[in-house]
Amino acid sequence: MKRYILAITAASGPILGIRLAEELLRSSEVHLIISSGAFRIIRDETGFDWSGDTEVKLRKHFATNRLFFRDNHDMSAPPASGSFKTDGMIIAPCSMKTLSGVACGYANNLIERAADVTIKEGRPLILSPRETPFSSIHLENMLKLSRIGVRIVPPIPAFYHKPSTISDLTDFMVGKILDSMGIDHNLFRRWGS
């Protein structure tokens, strides 16, 4: 069974991370890290209140025992070590603060440390930055990461598949992230099909 680290940071669009978790959990073990600021955004944008007893709430929500919640302040959690084998890491949505921390190797919390470990171990890392417009600082940080092999996959929708709901748009963006990680899915109709 494959194992992924998934992080949701304090940026608009946590539904991307939630939808990714649903897809990854179909066939993989997921170690989910949620930044402290993301809990409020998740509650505001989705109605899910996962604060307090988070792992129990998450396992109930996703109806699986393959999901492991890791506190973002727990620097001794397994994802903080290169000896913890994974098939990659996805940060979606990725705040500019987190992107900057990853680009600078700051590793001030578990999300940044797990990303740092993913980079140093040569494993796939995908960041889905949620900000617009991008400043020159944002773009320079993304370029720096892209040059070392990090995939930058902003959640930009397409319309050729004729989306009619927000779920259709979300599935397209999540599908593009999964494509970048090499994970098969059927979330949207592909061009020419």
CATH code for the domain of 116:
3.40.50.1950
The answer to whether residue 190 sits within a structural domain is: no
The answer to whether residue 187 sits within a structural domain is: no
pLDDT at 119: 98
User: Distance between CA atoms of 57 and 36, rounded to whole angstroms?
Assistant: 16
pLDDT at 193: 73
The answer to whether residue 191 sits within a structural domain is: no
pLDDT exceeds cutoff 90 at 9: yes
What's at 46, amino acid-wise?
A: T
Secondary structure of residue 182 in the 3-state scheme: coil
Q: What is the pLDDT of residues 74-97, one digit of tens each?
A: 999 999 999 999 999 999 999 999
Beta carbons of 29 and 3 less than 8 angstroms apart: yes
pLDDT exceeds cutoff 90 at 192: no
The answer to whether residue 13 sits within a structural domain is: yes
Indicate the number of domains in the chain: 1
Q: CA 186, 10, 102 angle in degrees (round to 5)?
A: 85
What percent of the chain lies above the pLDDT cut of 70?
Answer: 100
H-type alpha helices, the chain: 14-24, 38-46, 54-62, 96-103, 110-120, 136-147, 166-181
- Run of H or E including 156: none
Average pLDDT over residues 37-45: 97
The answer to whether residue 189 sits within a structural domain is: no
Between residues 24 and 191, which one has the greater pLDDT?
24
The answer to whether residue 122 sits within a structural domain is: yes
Average pLDDT over residues 168-190: 95
The answer to whether residue 186 sits within a structural domain is: no
pLDDT exceeds cutoff 90 at 14: yes
Using omega within 30 degrees of 0 as the cis cutoff, is the peptide bond preceding 154 cis? no
Give the range of the structural domain holding residue 100, as residue numbers without chain letter. 2-181
The answer to whether residue 193 sits within a structural domain is: no
